[in-house]
Structure 1
Amino acid sequence: MMQSVSVGNVVIGNGRPSIIVPITAKTADEVLALAARYARESTVDLIELRVDHLDQARDAHHVSELTRAAAAIEGAKPLIVTFRTKAEGGMTALDGVDYVEFYRTILAEGRPDLIDVEVARGEDVVLPTIDAARRAGAKVVLSHHDFAATAPVWDLIARMRHMQDLGADIVKIATMPKDAGDVLKLLEATWLMSTRYAHCPLITMAMAGPGVVSRLSGELFGSAATFAMIGEASAPGQVELAKLSPVLDLIHEALK
């Protein structure tokens, strides 16, 4: 049975999908200004700091100071720290030992609520990073992004089950659809995973225009959170917060 995950006052995996808004600013001042703005947005549940966009992205001590400052903002939302590498569509490259050490420093000094770890880094990177998160009391979003295609349904399920077995608190998978059929694959995989195999919450999405429906219909198919944008998107197909939230409410009410 799927278990929900509590982060601060947010419960992920229970009812209406949580809304995550990314911050893709380049400077610390810009990040903190946006974090303060989002703290006042009642429809925002969590904030994702996309570290790879920062002008000092590789400086883990600088990023740790920034995450502490963001957490100190009045009404601050729970924070996901994500270093999206170039290999998975991010802005900055970071591999191997440097990836592990970056997150170890962030966890020890910055005390984020959650971190996003790319499963494609390999178990020699993923497992020690998850262990460091456990010791710091942070939750782990284990993620996989395919910007080229959408794998067959049972391949997607196998990938999510593997991520869950590695120790993810939340499993995230994003694929690139070529047509509506690929979106259906992603939705079917989400439904089957959530109803048959999941022990932790799932976040799934098909990207770009055809995939927008997957960002809206998560509660029906088993995706526990979705990403919204205020201004600049961090991935193809993200929906404006003002448009997304009412649709999630509408679907939630219809499913009661």
Structure 2
Amino acid sequence: MQTVRIGYVEIGEGRPCIIVPLTSSSIDGVMDTATSLADLPVELAEWRIDMFADAVVETPEGLMPDLPYILQSLAGLRTVIPVALIATFRTVEEGGSCPISDEGYAQLVKALCDSRNVDIIDIEAFHRSGRAAELIDYAHSRHVPVIASFHDFESTPEKDEIVRRLRVMQDELGADILKAAVMPQSRADVLTLLSATEEMTEKYAERPVITMSMGSLGAVSRVCGQSFGSAATFAHAGNGTSAPGQLSVEETDTLLSIFEEVLQR
């Protein structure tokens, strides 16, 4: 399997990377959290632009991103953040905080890629516009790696369906990293997600895979990735979570270290 190098981080090799979401609605809050990461065992940060206040404005064309405001804030964030940066606008359909038009989503993705201030960008693989392939190609034309993602905040699809979607991200969309986050309704659902991760990484994956089962039921999936094939996990730095079930950075680092030590025995 190919690894993906983002800054000094090699994703897909060894212990899963820790990613901290930046979820504040204000630029001061985003920058405060970003600055604090210098003292934490964190490899990447994810700026959740959909959680940023006034990121989207009403226009005659629909709900569009306020690009000058977002890009100015991003430039400021870039000056203080000590780790590699993922840019993400999570749509409402996949658990995000702010609606946006299809054209607005596309414009934002392209503007972020053009900015040269993001290290990697998240693009929803099954966005309702059907433009994921176009946007991934655009990001690659600007030399920006892509995390293709899908999220189900209501349920856990069958194992074969999770694997199918991950394979579409890799084989049809050409994403650099493949991500799936699902919501369990039972302990069996957590096993379904872990089984799908294992099957994907053992049989099909040519690129790193990131998976998680959300909520308290799925918390174990966030720290056992090295055993099942997930290359990264999300943890909060006391600034609020971006999805249910996230542990703190300190808890996550401790548990990942325990798993890593046991696996090396």
Scaled by the length of structure 1, the TM-score of the pair is 0.95
Within the candidate set 153, 168, 188, 1:181 is matched to 188
Q: What is aligned with 1:170?
A: 177
Gaps of 5+ in 2: 56-64
Q: What is aligned with 1:21?
A: 20
Letter in 1 for 2:207: C
Q: What is aligned with 1:6?
A: 5
Is the CA contact 1:111–1:138 (under 8 Å) kept in the aligned structure 2?
no
Gaps of 5+ in 1: none
Deviations 1:236-255 (A, max 9, x none): 10011111101101111111
Q: Secondary structure of the residue that 1:174 maps to in structure 2?
A: strand
Q: What is aligned with 1:252?
A: 260
Q: What is aligned with 1:44?
A: 42
Q: What is aligned with 2:246?
A: 238
Q: Secondary structure of the residue that 1:116 maps to in structure 2?
A: strand
Is the CA contact 1:97–1:125 (under 8 Å) kept in the aligned structure 2?
no
Is the CA contact 1:149–1:178 (under 8 Å) kept in the aligned structure 2?
yes
Are residue 126 (structure 1) and residue 128 (structure 2) matched? no
Q: What is aligned with 1:113?
A: 119
* Whole-Å separation in 2 of the counterparts to 1:4 and 1:255: 20
Deviations 1:52-102 (A, max 9, x none): 0111322123222222222222x6210001001111111111232211111
Q: What is aligned with 2:225?
A: 218
Q: What is aligned with 2:202?
A: 195
Are residue 207 (structure 1) and residue 211 (structure 2) matched? no
* Whole-Å separation in 2 of the counterparts to 1:254 and 1:123: 45
Moved more, 75-84 or 124-133: 124-133
Is the CA contact 1:50–1:83 (under 8 Å) kept in the aligned structure 2?
yes
Shift of 1:37: 1.1
Within the candidate set 147, 153, 157, 1:147 is matched to 153
* Whole-Å separation in 1 of the counterparts to 2:54 and 2:142: 23
Moved more, 214-223 or 94-103: 94-103
Letter in 1 for 2:34: A
Within the candidate set 77, 88, 109, 2:83 is matched to 77
Letter in 2 for 1:37: S
Deviations 1:8-61 (A, max 9, x none): 0011100000000001111112211211111332x1100000000111322123
Scaled by the length of structure 2, the TM-score of the pair is 0.92
Letter in 2 for 1:78: A
Is the CA contact 1:64–1:110 (under 8 Å) kept in the aligned structure 2?
no
* Whole-Å separation in 2 of the counterparts to 1:188 and 1:123: 30
Q: Secondary structure of the residue that 1:66 maps to in structure 2?
A: helix
* Whole-Å separation in 1 of the counterparts to 2:223 and 2:130: 35
More helix by share: 1
Letter in 2 for 1:248: L
Moved more, 15-24 or 228-237: 228-237
* Whole-Å separation in 2 of the counterparts to 1:76 and 1:27: 19
* Whole-Å separation in 2 of the counterparts to 1:156 and 1:167: 17
Letter in 1 for 2:71: S
* Whole-Å separation in 2 of the counterparts to 1:209 and 1:34: 24
Is the CA contact 1:150–1:176 (under 8 Å) kept in the aligned structure 2?
yes
Identity %: 40
Q: Secondary structure of the residue that 1:214 maps to in structure 2?
A: helix
* Whole-Å separation in 1 of the counterparts to 2:125 and 2:237: 28
Deviations 1:166-220 (A, max 9, x none): 1111000011111110000000000010010001101000000110010010000
Letter in 1 for 2:8: N
Q: Which runs of 4+ in 1 moved over 6 A?
A: none
Q: What is aligned with 1:65?
A: 72
Instruction: Kindly tell me the number of residue pairs found equivalent between the two proteins.
Output: 253
